[in-house]
């Protein structure tokens, strides 16, 4: 084939796949766009569905990776979720733009994007609430846009108040001792949540996500956990009170990365509100129970923040391009944040990978675990840390590690099997609440089981 013909074919192909334009995308249109990006970049993308909405619409995810569909050990998984509130639509459009951008820049050999896609597995869900979106979009067309029309799912449920409440457990455990991570779900959790929530919970349990953002609208601020105030319910009204996680400094940094890379979020004054540096602890803004952000942190290894991206929940089409330009760099920089702290493999003496090994950092009362492939990821700010790996039946291994500002530090663990008589000795000292009994209502069966099974490594100040 002559060069000329090849150039012509290339141009033709390029013309045929028109870019994602700056307009709102209804469900069918959104699905078309996801497959269009996939067809443009078939080798680095995959479209999959995590389940269906109440009305049967798919909850689609577009994945970017140099090996789509495969978890490569030591390559972190990161996700974006948009449009959880059906009437907050900017995130949905931004995630479509981002998908197109990643694909095109990869094809253009933009080294920053090539590196990101090769080193990261990125999952993008433009809409968690496709049913609500259709209601909101229809109302918008008829110009009857109430502030809350289309917010909830088709059963009228607010999906960001629909996750199991694990905060109650953690606030109890923080005070009295007990597991500080992977808090168990209630036995009957499936019957208590909506189909969209159930699909998302199963999704985030099946991938070892490390970092995530949930895109909303109605304000402009990067919101970090906890969302639920420690003093949530005081005789019916909600108390706002700064309620930090043990990873507060890290979460603040993650939120600031977004707000400062954003066109105007960091300025603080937006939509009539003022948030210093464009960030806020969720509970100090307003207390919210059963949200997705806190759930990610308390039930999985994933660190999630919530991004409020527009004053107007359903911005005019004419504003979408400006919004994309204001968010583009922030969306990329936030993904890059997954490459910090420490990561590594946890293995036994025979080099078998150990899943569910617990990685504890002295001074931070929140552990993470290794995934199914034996790899773990622990986001950390620069500094020197004492890190311990433990697994049932093995001796703990502790190392001191200094984390720099750029690349994540590789810290592998090779655990030795413990001798049987030594095992009970270690189990006792740090269980934290020996002799104390959790009240029945805050202690699900799985928690009791886990507690006795898991050796509790040394923790920071309680």
Question: How wide is the angle at C-alpha 190 spanned by C-alphas 184 and 196, nearest 5°?
Answer: 110
Looking at 33-41, 87-95, 292-300, 338-346, which segment touches Zn ion (CB under 5 A)? Answer: 87-95
Nearest residue relative to Zn ion (C-beta) = 216
Contact positions with Zn ion (CB under 5 A) in 207-226: 216
Kindly state whether residue 196 participates in binding Zn ion, applying the rule CB under 5 A. Answer: no
Task: Identify which of residues 145 and 301 has a Cβ nearer to Zn ion in the complex.
Answer: 145
Contact positions with Zn ion (CB under 5 A) in 91-150: none
Rounded to a whole number of angstroms, the minimum distance from the CB of residue 58 to Zn ion is: 21
Rounded CA separation 460/123 (Å): 33
Task: Identify which of residues 145 and 370 has a Cβ nearer to Zn ion in the complex.
Answer: 145
Task: Identify which of residues 150 and 179 has a Cβ nearer to Zn ion in the complex.
Answer: 150
Rounded to a whole number of angstroms, the minimum distance from the CB of residue 256 to Zn ion is: 21
Looking at 21-29, 31-39, 80-88, 112-120, which segment touches Zn ion (CB under 5 A)? Answer: 80-88
Catalytic residue among 104, 308, 323, 451: 308
Kindly state whether residue 194 participates in binding Zn ion, applying the rule CB under 5 A. Answer: no
Task: Identify which of residues 67 and 286 has a Cβ nearer to Zn ion in the complex.
Answer: 286
Rounded to a whole number of angstroms, the minimum distance from the CB of residue 150 to Zn ion is: 11
Task: Identify which of residues 80 and 376 has a Cβ nearer to Zn ion in the complex.
Answer: 80
Contact positions with Zn ion (CB under 5 A) in 315-354: none
Instruction: Identify the residue among 40, 75, 88, 194 touching Zn ion (CB under 5 A).
Output: 88
Rounded to a whole number of angstroms, the minimum distance from the CB of residue 215 to Zn ion is: 9
Element (H, E) at 119: helix 111-119
Which residues does 459 contact at the CB level (< 8 Å), separation at least 6? 180, 360, 362, 365, 430, 432
Looking at 82-90, 297-305, 359-367, 398-406, which segment touches Zn ion (CB under 5 A)? Answer: 82-90
Tell me how far CA of residue 96 lies from CA of 23, 156, 311, in angstroms.
11, 26, 20
Looking at 79-87, 89-97, 103-111, 254-262, which segment touches Zn ion (CB under 5 A)? Answer: 79-87
User: For the stretch 87-111, what's the b/e string if a residue is b when 16 or more beta carbons lie within 10 angstroms of its beta carbon?
Assistant: bbbbbbbbbbbbbbbbbbbbeeeee
Which residues does 67 contact at the CB level (< 8 Å), separation at least 6? none
Rounded CA separation 265/219 (Å): 10
The dihedrals phi and psi of 262, each to the nearest 5 degrees, come to -80, 150
Which residues does 234 contact at the CB level (< 8 Å), separation at least 6? none
Task: Identify which of residues 120 and 152 has a Cβ nearer to Zn ion in the complex.
Answer: 152
Which residues does 26 contact at the CB level (< 8 Å), separation at least 6? 133, 134, 137
| Selection from 184, 182, 270 nearest residue 223 by Cα | 270
Task: Identify which of residues 310 and 390 has a Cβ nearer to Zn ion in the complex.
Answer: 310
Size of the site for Zn ion (CB under 5 A): 3
Kindly state whether residue 85 participates in binding Zn ion, applying the rule CB under 5 A. Answer: yes
Per the listing, tokens 């680095």 go with 44
Q: In what order do the strands lie in the sheet with 397-403?
A: 364-369, 358-361, 383-390, 397-403
Contact positions with Zn ion (CB under 5 A) in 408-437: none
| Count of CB atoms situated within 10 Å of the CB of 434 | 10
Q: By the 8 A CB rule, do 317 and 20 touch?
A: no
Rounded to a whole number of angstroms, the minimum distance from the CB of residue 84 to Zn ion is: 6
Rounded to a whole number of angstroms, the minimum distance from the CB of residue 88 to Zn ion is: 5
Residue 308 annotated as catalytic: yes
Rounded CA separation 67/27 (Å): 27
Rounded to a whole number of angstroms, the minimum distance from the CB of residue 374 to Zn ion is: 37
Q: Which residues bind Zn ion (CB under 5 A)?
A: 85, 88, 216
Q: Which residues are part of the catalytic machinery?
A: 308
């Amino acid at each position: 084939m002559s060069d000329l013909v090849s150039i012509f074919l290339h141009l033709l192909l390029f013309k045929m796949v028109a870019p994602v334009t700056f307009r709102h995308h209804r469900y069918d249109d959104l699905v078309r766009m996801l497959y269009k990006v996939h067809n443009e970049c078939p080798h680095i993308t995959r479209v999959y569905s995590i389940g269906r909405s109440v009305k049967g619409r798919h909850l689609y995810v577009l994945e970017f990776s140099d090996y789509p569909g495969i978890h490569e050990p030591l390559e972190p998984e990161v996700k974006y979720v948009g449009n959880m509130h059906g009437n907050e639509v900017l995130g949905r459009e931004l995630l479509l733009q981002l998908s197109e951008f990643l694909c095109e820049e990869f094809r253009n050999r933009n080294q920053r994007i090539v590196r990101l896609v090769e080193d990261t597995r990125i999952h993008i869900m433009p809409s968690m609430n496709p049913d609500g979106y259709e209601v909101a979009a229809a109302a918008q067309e008829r110009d009857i846009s109430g502030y809350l029309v289309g917010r909830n799912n088709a059963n009228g449920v607010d999906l960001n108040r629909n996750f199991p409440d694990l905060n109650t457990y953690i606030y109890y455990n923080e005070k009295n001792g007990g597991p500080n991570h992977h808090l168990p779900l209630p036995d009957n959790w499936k019957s208590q949540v909506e189909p969209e929530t159930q699909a998302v919970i199963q999704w985030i349990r099946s991938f070892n996500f490390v970092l995530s953002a949930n895109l909303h609208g109605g304000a402009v601020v990067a919101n970090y956990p906890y969302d639920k105030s420690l003093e949530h319910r005081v005789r019916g009204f909600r108390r706002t009170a700064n309620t930090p996680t043990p990873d507060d400094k890290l979460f603040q940094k993650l939120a600031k990365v977004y707000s400062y890379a954003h066109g105007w979020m960091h300025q603080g004054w937006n939509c009539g509100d003022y948030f210093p540096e464009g960030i806020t602890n969720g509970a100090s803004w307003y207390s919210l129970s059963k949200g997705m952000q806190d759930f990610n942190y308390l039930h999985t290894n994933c660190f999630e923040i919530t991004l409020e991206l527009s004053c107007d929940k359903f911005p005019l089409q004419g504003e979408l391009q400006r919004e994309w330009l204001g968010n583009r760099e922030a969306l990329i920089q936030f993904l890059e944040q997954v490459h910090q702290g420490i990561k590594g493999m946890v293995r036994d003496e025979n080099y078998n990978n150990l899943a569910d090994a617990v990685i504890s950092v002295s001074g931070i009362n929140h552990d993470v675990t290794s995934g199914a492939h034996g790899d773990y990821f622990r986001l950390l700010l620069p500094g020197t840390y004492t890190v311990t790996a433990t697994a049932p039946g093995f001796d703990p291994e502790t190392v001191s590690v200094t984390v720099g500002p750029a690349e994540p530090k590789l810290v592998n663990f090779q655990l030795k099997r413990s001798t049987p008589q030594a095992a009970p000795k270690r189990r006792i000292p740090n269980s934290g609440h020996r002799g104390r009994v959790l009240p029945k209502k805050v202690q699900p069966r799985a928690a009791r089981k886990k507690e006795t099974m898991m050796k509790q490594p040394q923790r920071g100040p309680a």
